[in-house]
Amino acid sequence: MLLVVEQFLNGLQFGLLLFLLAAGLTLVFGIMDLVNLAHGSLYMMGAYFAATFAAWTGSFLLGSLLALGATLVLGIVLEMSALRHLYGRDHLDHVLATFGLILFFNEAVRLIWGPAGLALPLPAWLTVPVPILPGIHYPAYRLAIIVVALLVALLLYLGVMRTRIGMLIRAGASNREMIGALGINIKLLYTLVFGLGAALAGLAGLMQAPILTVQIGMGENILILAFVIIVIGGIGSIRGAFLAAIFVGMIDTLGRAFLPNLLRQVLSGAAASTAAPALSSMLIYLLMAIVLVVRPEGLFPANRR
């Protein structure tokens, strides 16, 4: 029981983190039609900035806030210097150019911070276990991630659905030329959206940092999960990204936690322990394959015509 609740919350926490990453990716794709592989690099930069700023200021919260701002600025600079020139080009061009950016970021990090990973220690008040149900404790920091990510998801929803900028963003997603013709500064809007996506990726990175080590290439594996999520959820759809992210986070976490035991009931011990790690890492890809067979456009496609 304890394990089930704990793993369930871990899955939720991982899913929400994936959502932060996938939301930026899907926003940028839905509005600028840009495939950004370097999104994972922004996630990595968020974590590195947080580790550095937290060490400088001596405060986890202050360091995180500074890191968030730094990732936002980095995203804006990146958009204005390089990615802006890619709008309207072939998707293949996007893939290659942003692939080049990944090489650049990984190497730059190695040059600046060195090849060894960094650690981002948590303040004491975040490390205590919190009782959530009678007899069940859960780490405060992981709970904090869930709360922050849910808040951000809510703000994002309200921002996109209820504010003027959100209206422009949605209008830009459905018809780029038209809102340009209506006198909206589309360049500025694009830069803003990209910066927002970068900040979301940075937030995911800095929140994940204390749980894992901060290291080069940390953004790449999780980026591919984010891709799987937006394919399952339907490209360009934030709602789809949210549901798919929770789904993928749950399946991945629960699969890794319980699949070995389940397999052991069916197969012999040796066979189960060889098959389990491979199978549990395959689970989400199998899920994606099933979704593709049933709904090639994803579960919640953005432009339903």
Partner 1 sequence: MKAFTVSKAVTALMLAGLVLLPLYSQLSGNIFILTLFTRVVILALAAASLNLMMGYGGMMSFGHAAYLGIGGYAVGMLAQEGIGSGFIQFPVALAASALYALVIGALSLRTRGVYFIMITLAFAQMAYYVASGLARYGGDDGLTVYKRSDFSGLINLGNRTQFYYLCLACLFGVVFLIWRIVNSRFGLVVQGLRSNEQRMQAIGFPAKRYQLVCFVISGMMCGLAGALLANNTDFISPAVMYWTRSGDLMVMVILGGMGTLFGPVMGAVVYLLLEEFLSQLTEYWALIMGPLLLLIVLFGRGGIMGLLGRLNRG
In the complex, minimum distance from the CB of residue 244 to partner 1, in angstroms, rounded to a whole number = 13
CA–CA dist 267, 270 (Å, integer): 8
CA 179 – CA 169 distance, rounded (Å): 10
The three-state secondary structure class of 90 is coil
Compute the distance between CA of residue 176 and CA of residue 243 in angstroms, rounded to an integer. 27
Looking at beta carbons only, is 124 or 278 nearer to partner 1?
278
In degrees to the nearest 10, what's the CA dihedral of 17, 20, 22, 25? -150
Where do contacts with partner 1 occur on this chain (CB under 8 A)?
29, 35, 82, 85-86, 89, 91-93, 95-97, 99-108, 110-111, 220-221, 224, 227-228, 230-231, 235, 274, 277-279, 281-282, 285, 288-289, 292-293, 296
Do 35 and 236 form a contact (C-beta atoms < 8 A)? no
Shortest approach of partner 1 to residue 3 CB, angstroms? 23
The distance of closest approach from Cβ of residue 108 to partner 1 in the complex, given in angstroms and rounded to an integer, is 6
What's the closest the beta carbon of residue 102 comes to partner 1, in angstroms? 7
Question: What is the C-alpha separation between 98 and 92, in angstroms, rounded?
Answer: 10
Least separation in angstroms between residue 162's CB and partner 1 is 29
Nearer to partner 1, 99 or 125 (CB): 99
Angstrom distances, CA of residue 71 to CA of 143, 200, 202, 249: 24, 9, 6, 24
Question: Which neighbouring-strand residues pair with 131?
Answer: 137
Residue 218: CB minimum distance to partner 1, A: 14
Q: Which is nearer to partner 1, 16 or 22 (CB)?
A: 22
| Closer residue to partner 1 in complex, CB, 135/296 | 296
**What is the spatial distance between Cα 129 and Cα 270, in angstroms, rounded to a whole number?**
36
What's the min distance (Å) between Cβ of 36 and partner 1?
11
Residue 253 has which token pair?
Answer: 């976490």
Q: Which amino acid is at 116?
A: A
Considering the complex, state which of residue 103 and residue 130 has its C-beta at the smaller distance from partner 1. Answer: 103
C-beta of 57 vs 213, nearer to partner 1? 213
The residue (of 169 and 223) whose beta carbon lies closer to partner 1 is 223
Token pair for residue 240? 């789809």
**141's tokens:** 């920091």
CA–CA gap between residue 233 and residue 242 (Å, rounded): 8
